[in-house]
A = this chain, B = another copy of it.
Amino acid sequence: MASTAEDFETPNSLRDICGLDLVEKNDLDDEMATFVHGIEKKYGFVPNFLRMWASDNRRLRAFLVPWLELMRTDSGLSPLDHELIALVCANENGCAYCCAHHGATLRGVSGDPVFAELIGRNYKLAELSSRDRAMLDFVVMVQKEPEAIGDTERDCLRAKGFDDEAIWYIASTAAFYASANRMSAAVGLKITPEYLTMHR
């Protein structure tokens, strides 16, 4: 079931959705192609970031393997936790693409568009448990002043009930989006319009 160009090609070329003229290798293996088809089925469209990374099988795998590691069920973080972190990172890093994407997914997971709007603009204004607030405060430190993190900051998370494995995954998720947000910006990825109306 190796992918072919037609499978999820949309009328526009890669150059129309990002600032780089990348070669589309059409070399996805079954696992990667299945993943892309799964997203397309779930969302009803192939998001631009996925089209871009799917231009090369190794490239997509290098994106998905660490992302799937964050999705493991024993991470100590819920899907809502993941989306909270992802959207706060997108906003802190000024990534318009990721704000649109994770704004949509957080609306979906939380079922609360006003809450998602606040998380995507200024999480300090949102109603959050003290656990979630501590988690997001740590995430902001990872983005903005990682060099200032020490035992004090990790102990704050422990005091809210996170064990050390969960702290690892909070840090990993924040670090993953520090990378993904920058990558979207650096390559000039254009917003997928469908995000803006999803789960409104």
Contacts and interface: CB of A to CB of B under 8 A. Distances in A.
Interface in A150-200: 150-151, 154, 164-165, 167-168, 171-172, 174-176, 178-183, 185-188, 190-191, 193, 196-197, 200
Contacts of A179: 175-176, 178-179
Interface in A17-51: 19-23
A66 B72 contact: no
Interface stretch (A1-9, A79-87, A113-121): A113-121
A149 B188 contact: yes
Nearest to A163: B21
Given A63-B66, A96-B117, A124 B150 contact: yes
Contact of A188 (B141, B150, B185, B196): B150
Interface in A107-148: 113-114, 117-118, 121-122, 124-125, 138, 141-143, 146-148
Copies of this chain per assembly: 6
Nearest to A189: B125
A94 B147 CA distance: 6
29 contacts: A20-B154, A58-B69, A61-B65, A62-B69, A65-B65, A93-B146, A94-B147, A96-B121, A99-B121, A100-B117, A117-B191, A122-B147, A125-B150, A125-B190, A141-B186, A142-B182, A142-B186, A143-B182, A146-B186, A151-B188, A154-B188, A171-B183, A171-B187, A175-B180, A175-B183, A175-B186, A176-B179, A178-B179, A178-B182
Interface of A: 19-23, 58-59, 61-63, 65-66, 68-70, 72, 93-96, 99-100, 113-114, 117-118, 121-122, 124-125, 138, 141-143, 146-151, 154, 164-165, 167-168, 171-172, 174-176, 178-183, 185-188, 190-191, 193, 196-197, 200
